[in-house]
């Protein structure tokens, strides 16, 4: 049998190109170019369970992309932070989301998407990808790889940090989780003295056991009107380290506490905690 050398070379070139980038199905192709231009897979309906939609997930992107045809755009406010990184044969995005912006359940422990779930999905320009979304911790991650070994799809229950090591900092540069509400008891006092009306003053109190290693909270006491009997200051809980406790990866939050004010000269505001 006689082969045309030029024809064989052309065929091999085509096969090589096909092997270097999985084509994927329209609407199920993601892509990663930068921290502001990327996509990942998500349930097709708002509020959908992550794991239950592994066979039906579709692509969502930061903006329309020819590399991800028919993909939808992320809901406003859904992506809280996106940290881009690349290595030898892979690119990735790691960061934080606000699950409530797509009505994802705060009890959803998450799931994983890859070229086998949904079948036919792909990452443009790469042979493999692995994508996890964890609504309970407001965490997401996606990596696209040339080689399968760089996209570990066998550790989905370990979570994003184990499957795709990277920067999971939030929009303020610290690990955040807007879905976690601090709980515990705050004790201490803050006073504001002077000729009524009293100008804004600040004090501090120890937060324990809300975030044991978070430090102290800042108390802002608003101006006290001489005729007022109560005022409501704001207590801002400082950002905690994610290593403090499972629920410690929370962004700074504010909560109101009651204050009894003596409306007179030399007024004193005392936190009632």
Backbone torsions φ then ψ of 105, nearest 5 degrees: -75, 135
Return the pLDDT at 78.
Answer: 98
In 10 A of CB 163, how many CB atoms?
21
- 234-237 β-sheet, strand order: 186-187, 201-207, 216-221, 234-237, 253-256
**Strand extents, DSSP E, the chain:** 29-30, 32-34, 37-42, 58-61, 72-73, 79-87, 90-97, 111-114, 122-123, 128-134, 139-145, 186-187, 201-207, 216-221, 230-231, 234-237, 253-256, 258-261, 269-272
- 139-145 β-sheet, strand order: 79-87, 90-97, 139-145, 128-134, 111-114
- Nearest partner of 60 among 69, 71, 44, judged by Cα: 71
C-alpha radius of gyration, the chain, whole number: 26
Return the pLDDT at 25.
Answer: 85
* pLDDT < 50 positions in the chain: 1-20, 173-187, 190, 192, 195-216, 239-273
Return the pLDDT at 218.
Answer: 53
Return the pLDDT at 171.
Answer: 84
Pairing of strands 139-145, 90-97: antiparallel
Would you say 32 and 92 are in contact if contact means Cβ atoms under 8 Å apart? yes
Quick: pLDDT tens for 5-56: 344 344 444 334 334 455 678 899 999 999 999 999 999 999 999 999 999 9
Return the pLDDT at 102.
Answer: 98
Return the pLDDT at 253.
Answer: 35
In 10 A of CB 65, how many CB atoms?
18
Separation of alpha carbons 207 and 219, rounded Å: 12
Return the pLDDT at 69.
Answer: 96
* Letter string b/e over residues 197-217, b meaning 16 or more CB atoms within 10 A of that residue's CB: ebeebebebebeebbeebeeb
Return the pLDDT at 161.
Answer: 95
Local structure of 263: helix, strand or coil? coil
């Amino acid at each position: 049998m006689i082969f045309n050398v030029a024809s064989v070379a052309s065929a091999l070139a085509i096969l090589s190109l096909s092997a270097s980038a999985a084509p994927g199905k329209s609407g199920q192709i993601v892509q990663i170019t930068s921290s502001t231009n990327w996509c990942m897979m998500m349930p097709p309906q708002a509020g959908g369970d992550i794991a239950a939609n592994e066979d039906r997930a579709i692509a969502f992107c930061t903006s329309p992309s020819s590399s991800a045809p028919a993909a939808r755009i992320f809901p406003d406010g859904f992506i809280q932070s996106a940290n881009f990184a690349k290595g030898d044969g892979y690119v990735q995005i790691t960061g934080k989301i606000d699950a409530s912006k797509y009505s994802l359940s705060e009890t959803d422990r998450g799931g994983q998407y890859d070229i086998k779930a949904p079948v036919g999905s792909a990452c443009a320009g790469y042979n493999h990808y692995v994508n996890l979304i964890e609504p309970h911790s407001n965490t997401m991650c996606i990596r696209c790889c040339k080689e399968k070994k760089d996209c570990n799809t066998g550790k989905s229950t370990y979570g994003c940090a184990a499957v795709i090591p990277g920067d999971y900092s939030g929009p303020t540069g610290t690990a955040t989780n807007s879905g976690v509400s601090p709980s515990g008891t705050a004790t201490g006092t803050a006073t504001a003295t002077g000729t009524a009306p009293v100008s804004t003053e600040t004090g501090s109190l120890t937060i324990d056991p809300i975030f044991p290693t978070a430090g102290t909270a800042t108390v802002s006491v608003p101006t006290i009107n001489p005729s007022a009997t109560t005022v409501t200051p704001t207590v801002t809980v400082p950002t905690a380290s994610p290593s403090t406790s499972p629920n410690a990866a929370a962004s700074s939050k504010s909560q109101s506490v009651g204050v009894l004010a003596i409306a007179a000269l030399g007024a004193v505001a005392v936190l009632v905690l």
